[in-house]
Amino acid sequence: MRRVTKRFRAVSALGLAFALTFAAAGPLLKSGVADSADPSQELRDVYLPDTAFSAPAVAMRVDSEEDLALAKAEKRASVALMRLNENLSVVGENGEELFPAEEVYEDSGVGEGIVPAYIVDESSAAAAEQYLSEKNILDGLVFSEDAEIVSKIRAGAPDMSGGLLSDGTEGAKELAATAGESSARVAAVPASRLTKEYVNEMHLRWVAVWADCEDESDVYRALAAGADGIISEEPTETIELLESLPAGIFREPLLQAHRGVPDLAQENTISGARLAEESGAENMELDVFRTKDGQLAVIHDGGLDNLTDGTGAVGDYTLDELKEMHVDVNPYVSPEPVCSLEDFFHEFADTDFTFSIEIKEWIGVEIIDPLKALIEKYDMSDRVMIISFEQDQVVRAKREMPEIPVLWLSGSVSSDLGTDEYVRKVIETCNRTDLNMINSADANVTDEQRAALAARGILTSVGTYTLGGYGEYREKFTDGAYMVSSNDVTVTADMPVALEPLTEEMRIGTSEREAEAAYAYVVTKSGYLLNESGERVIAECEPFTGDEEIVCGPAGWYATEIGAYGAALRWKTPFGYYVYSDYVDVSALPGEGIAIDYTAETLIFDESALEVSPNVSFSEKLASGDNVTPGGTLYVRAAGASEGSSFAFRIPSRPAAPKASAQVDGSRVILTGGTQFSLFGGVWSDSGVYGGLKTGTEYSFLVRLAATETSFTSEPAVVKVQI
């Protein structure tokens, strides 16, 4: 595959609604002027891959004339990333102008069947802002390295989604906060930076992750990490790969505990939150009201009569008075005291558990200031999302805390609509606001609708609270829901979602006789899958790789050539779907690739195929024939491989000194116990007999075992003899 020298990355914050969608109405929304005859006001008819799992969106770069043909192929990417210059022309990788932005939808551009994504930098910002505001494109995205540029363009073109360009060196939390402040929606990060943990961290902060791929191996790496989109050099080949894969879970679905675990504990309580966390939930939705003394109580209703042993309204009591009351909704468990939001923040301060805080107060009730104060006190800005049905509250929350995802819950976009109309309404609803929000909790959203939204950078959650059993959860997980919100998250505690290789470094042989099996721990929502004895289940895995040199035979993996490769581990669960590990580096070296001449105490290896160093950084390299130190460690990698793909080669230690003895016969000494002998400081001999020694003199002799084909000479034993 061709490689590009000038690469770009992208990031965007995205609200991942857990419960409801947003109605396209009210003063919060900005409206654009639509002209049905203008193709920029129409929904793009994108190609949606026919896959057995919820596949990531496929995007492509438009860097050359050849790319324009790929954008119009039958199996084409759903998004075209195009860099604009100050003349409002789409430019190639070397800066040459390919076509004017006005021709994007024409044959001279990318055509009608692909979503345009404009990349804007400082030089083109002013012209792009004016142009995109005037066009008010319905179905499109804008990316930039500058968050302010994204924010300004989206203000004038509110139907467009946005993203920040990033090299992925920021942590997920920092990246998500920056995206949130710019009202972005997508994060395109180099595939080499992605892991499952990184992607999950971004999802918890409502950011979609698109992987910027340089080659086919990057595509496999991005898939294994669970990326939401793949920016591919060869989009048709990537689509064909996606369509060939079996049902499986690449992206670990997030679990939201609705009010904790109200089926097994009292709702909105610490014990329910603890149970949810132990069962593998990453997030808890809880409800807050303002108390008489300006504190925040966690309770679902403003009235106390139906939920507690108290009466009246939450606002009629101080927090201390409310804590004397008990939540008593679930008749099968003991009542528990009413909690404050601070109780939750304090209890989970040292964890990664996150919260979706639903503001239940309506217009006129001051709740943002105490909420902001608590978030700042416990440094929770990267672990909370604020949601509310009240428009006024979320508008102020976003204004006061722009780095925090804020969602407005206001009705729903029915999935009963056809895909095109459904996607149009979601775009208009979600994008015409400065808040972080996305699609619906509608459990009936189809795979086609979900894929169409993914192409616009919009994640889809399933916010149904009444899933009946394991099978229904498994269906939602394997269908590709980003988050499932439920009253009983314990149901999926033991559901396999990923693999963890037994070793961080993998080495395979270079012939079938050197093939070895690869193994991994099975990761579940609550930790590891355990057997009846409480031990971790270990699965024998097959490779998932874009490197054709790696072969998986009956005896295990091997490579057809020496080299540095990459692969993820894959295992088919008893339930019929596959789970995957992160992509790992794999060194393919022959069993006899590096050897030791134990007699000469030197290395033997093929310098054209291998590199050997005494340090992991390879700042110093050894040559074949160099001496080695018994008991030391060398680092070996394929010639030309990158740092990090080496493995440690441990040099055996010397055998211990033998138990030697000496017999004196006049002026002669006979040494025994070894195979090589020497008068201290002299040459070594195979004979242990020394004659002609002076009487009245003490001599020191050395005795050792000679080297063999598999071991060094032993440590010497010292024998002192008085003649």
- Enzyme catalytic residues: 258, 300
Give dist(CA 519, CA 507) in Å, integer.
12
CA distance 678 to 443: 85
Return the sign of the alpha-carbon dihedral for residues 418, 423, 425, 426.
positive
| Bridge pairing between strands 506-508 and 584-588 | parallel
Residue whose tokens read 């049902």: 247
Write the CB contacts of 33 (distance below 8 Å, at least 6 apart in sequence): 136
387 in helix, strand or coil? strand
For residue 58, which of 232, 244, 190 has the smallest C-alpha distance? 232
Q: Give the β-pairing of 602-605 and 594-597.
A: antiparallel
Tokens in use for 529?
A: 């899958």
End-to-end CA distance of the chain: 79
Total residue count of the chain as it appears in this document: 723
Residue 466, exposed/middle/buried by CB under 10 A (0-12, 13-18, 19+)? exposed
| Distance (Å, whole) CA 423 – CA 448 | 10
Return the number of other C-beta atoms located less than 10 Å from residue 318's C-beta.
13
Q: Provide the token pair at 514.
A: 């050197």
Give the tokens for residue 458.
Answer: 């919009």
Q: Which amino acid is at 94?
A: N
- Tokens 């939920």: give the residue: 307
Beta strands in 106-180 (DSSP E): 115-119, 141-144, 161-165
The token duo for 405 is 């995802």
Residue located via tokens 């775009």: 427
Q: What is the spatial distance between Cα 677 and Cα 230, in angstroms, rounded to a whole number? A: 68
Cβ 337 vs Cβ 265: under 8 Å? no
Distance of CA 425 to the CA centre of its chain: 30
Pairing of strands 594-597, 584-588: unpaired
Query: 216-225 and 235-244 are packed helices; what angle lies between their axes, rounded to 10 degrees?
Result: 50
Q: Tell me the two tokens of residue 460.
A: 């889809």
> How many C-beta atoms lie closer than 10 Å to residue 412's C-beta?
18
User: Are 483 and 253 within 8 A, CB to CB?
Assistant: yes
DSSP assignment, residue 705?
Answer: P
DSSP string, 481-523: -SEEEES-GGGGTT-EEEEEES-SSEEE-SSGGG-B-EEEEEE
Helix, strand and coil percent figures for the chain, each rounded to 5: 20, 30, 50
Say whether 41 sits in a helix, a strand or coil. Answer: helix
User: How many whole angstroms separate alpha carbon 690 and alpha carbon 662?
Assistant: 11
